[in-house]
Structure 1
Amino acid sequence: MKKILATGLTLLLLTACSSESTTTNEEAKKPEQSEVDKENKKTSEGSASPKNDTEQEETSEPSEEAVQSKDYTINENNWSINPIGDANPKVVLLTIDDAPDQHALQMANDLKALNAPAIFFVNGHFLDTPEEKETLKKIHDMGFAIGNHTFSHSSLKEISPEKQKEEIVSLNDLIESIIGERPKFFRAPFGQNTDYSRQVAAEEKMSLMNWTYGYDWEKQYQNKEAIIDIMVNSPYLNDGANLLMHDRTWTSEGLSDIVKGLRDKGYETLDPNRIKTVE
């Protein structure tokens, strides 16, 4: 795993996929948000109350017919997931970055047991061996969406346009060789897209995706109990929240309880196949 040190609040985004954080105590109380999300305060705080067991059972997962419909869009103003028409607004999207490292397969098994869809955003440097490639295929075969998180997790703003294209397209080629299809979602390392990476993603027919909140790289949340609590009780949890998590020990240990906690609050874990993407 690459380690990327944040140097201050203005570089808070750069901690999103690093293994450690040097954020100050005051900053550590804040969730990670994408650059656009920080600038755009349109997302309101969630205010829904927990539903009773019957209501949860009715809304916890979409019907087979609903899964086939494209009834949600990505709001690029704040990276939340918005319903189209009368689709249920009370949803959250689960995403796992830096896969498949050490825990992705276990996380996929735990999510599958709960019938909780998610996107696994993969890095090419975690697909070096036949075993790693087989892990990715197993995750895909369980029904999980596979997203592009670049080949080597480089900051796209710091490399040439040619290298940016290589980082994105070569990983798509590799993923397709393993699972038989190309990703439909692209998440830039640290949430840092460039004009050129946006162009390449569009050419590759991938929708851009950042996140609305995440915490598991912050030292104070690097244990099971803390990550469960903050992911379920974040002030940024609201309708359409786009949750960023990583292939890490504490997140893996807490994942099932995170899903259960979100559902206890009445949120549906959204199938990414229902999100309208670039055609």
Structure 2
Amino acid sequence: MLKKSSLMLMVIFIIGVLAACNSGATNENADGQTEEQTDDTEENTENNGESDESDQTEEPDAEGTEDEDVNDESEENQEPVYYIDEETAAIHPIDDADENVVLLTIDDAPDEYALEMAETLQEKDAKAIFFVNGHFIEDEEGQKALKTIHEMGFPIGNHTYSHPVIPEIPEDEQTEEIVSLNDKIEEIIGERPQFFRAPHGANSDHSREVVEEEGMVLMNWTYGFDYFEEYQDADKLKEALISGEAPEIDINYSLLQPGANILMHDREWTNEALGDVIDGLREQGYVMADPTLIETLE
């Protein structure tokens, strides 16, 4: 009896030990799986968080870029609101644009005063076209001045390379005077001029053809007095440009009217008068036209 009882107790003990071992193994596996699943869950949560944060960060940037592109595109593709009458050189509104405008233009730039004139225009929030001569941009100083004026936002026009009287030179030289200057200007500022003015306002049939082939608008002017000896004085010039009258050269009636294309030059007396001229024209209700809003051939 005792042997049988001892044997049964040993069997029960062994079964209990085995059961305990199996239970521990099962719990260990279960814990291991739980930790692995938790790590996966945390990793996924972190990844999802990073993805969400990234998406949220990129979204405004994308919207901002889109707005900038729209604005840039809007500025670049803005429709012209004025055109130049080739016969009269006056600036005319397209549709319902403001009629009380005048266009300021500065020839023979950049000689000695073009940069100062550009600064005055910028201070007065006025625009102008600077018509350039090639012999003024052969050296580094002239090229730097041209680039600065362009970077200030002023359109650059072609006034021929060496300022000849166009009809008095051969056709091949006419072509060279115009095209070589366009090439030179493009080399310096990265753009070819969109406006052309012949020295002395003298064109030929051939020069007109070249200007058209080069995609430029040809323009002269409606009035300007600073190249007359009688008006090579800042005070006299100021009065003449503001009134449109120049009695000392027998212009006893006003040439100032809506659409006037006013000729000035890179000269000391014009530089001194410029700020007052802008103020005087505005006092009479005129707006300085933005040349970038003029219809071009391109």
TM-score bucket (shorter structure):
0.7 to 0.9
Using the alignment, how far apart are the partners of 1:225 and 1:275 within structure 2? 31
Q: Look up the match of 1:263.
A: 282
Using the alignment, how far apart are the partners of 1:256 and 1:115 within structure 2? 11
Using the alignment, how far apart are the partners of 2:95 and 2:285 within structure 1? 20
Q: Look up the match of 1:248.
A: 267
Moved over 4 A (4+): 64-67
Q: Look up the match of 1:199.
A: 209
Number of residue pairs matched by the alignment: 216
Q: Look up the match of 2:120.
A: 110
Using the alignment, how far apart are the partners of 1:274 and 1:248 within structure 2? 27
2:281 match: secondary structure: helix
Residues 92 and 267 in structure 1, CA contact (< 8 A), matched pair in contact too: yes
Q: Look up the match of 2:226.
A: 216
Instruction: Identify if the C-alpha distance between structure 1 residues 177 and 233 changes in structure 2 by more than 3 Å, giving closer, same or farther.
Output: same
Q: Deviations over 1:64-118 (max 9, x none)?
A: 9799330111112211000010000100000000000000000000000111000
Q: Deviations over 1:92-147 (max 9, x none)?
A: 00000000000000000000011100000000011121111000000000000000
Query: What TM-score comes out, normalization by structure 2 length?
Result: 0.71
Using the alignment, how far apart are the partners of 1:274 and 1:67 within structure 2? 10
Using the alignment, how far apart are the partners of 1:176 and 1:118 within structure 2? 19
Residues 82 and 240 in structure 1, CA contact (< 8 A), matched pair in contact too: yes
Letter in structure 2 aligned against 1:256? G
Letter in structure 2 aligned against 1:102? E
1:19-168 paired onto structure 2 within 5 Å: 68-168=78-178
Letter in structure 2 aligned against 1:217? Y
1:176 match: secondary structure: helix
Using the alignment, how far apart are the partners of 1:93 and 1:67 within structure 2? 21
Using the alignment, how far apart are the partners of 2:231 and 2:113 within structure 1? 17
Using the alignment, how far apart are the partners of 2:77 and 2:89 within structure 1? 21
Instruction: Identify if the C-alpha distance between structure 1 residues 185 and 253 changes in structure 2 by more than 3 Å, giving closer, same or farther.
Output: same
Using the alignment, how far apart are the partners of 2:173 and 2:256 within structure 1? 36
Residues 67 and 274 in structure 1, CA contact (< 8 A), matched pair in contact too: no
Residues 165 and 200 in structure 1, CA contact (< 8 A), matched pair in contact too: yes
Query: What is the CA distance between 1:221 and its match in structure 2?
Result: 0.9
Q: Deviations over 1:210-243 (max 9, x none)?
A: 0000000111211111111000001000000000
Residues 68 and 273 in structure 1, CA contact (< 8 A), matched pair in contact too: no
Query: What TM-score comes out, normalization by structure 1 length?
Result: 0.76
Letter in structure 1 aligned against 2:236? A
Q: Look up the match of 2:200.
A: 190
Structure 2: unaligned runs, 5 residues or longer: 1-73, 245-253
Q: Which has the larger radius of gyration?
A: 2
Q: State whether structure 2 residue 295 is matched by structure 1 residue 276.
A: yes
Using the alignment, how far apart are the partners of 1:150 and 1:66 within structure 2? 27
Using the alignment, how far apart are the partners of 2:234 and 2:79 within structure 1? 35
RCO comparison, higher one (Cα < 8 Å, 6+): 1
Instruction: Identify if the C-alpha distance between structure 1 residues 156 and 263 changes in structure 2 by more than 3 Å, giving closer, same or farther.
Output: same
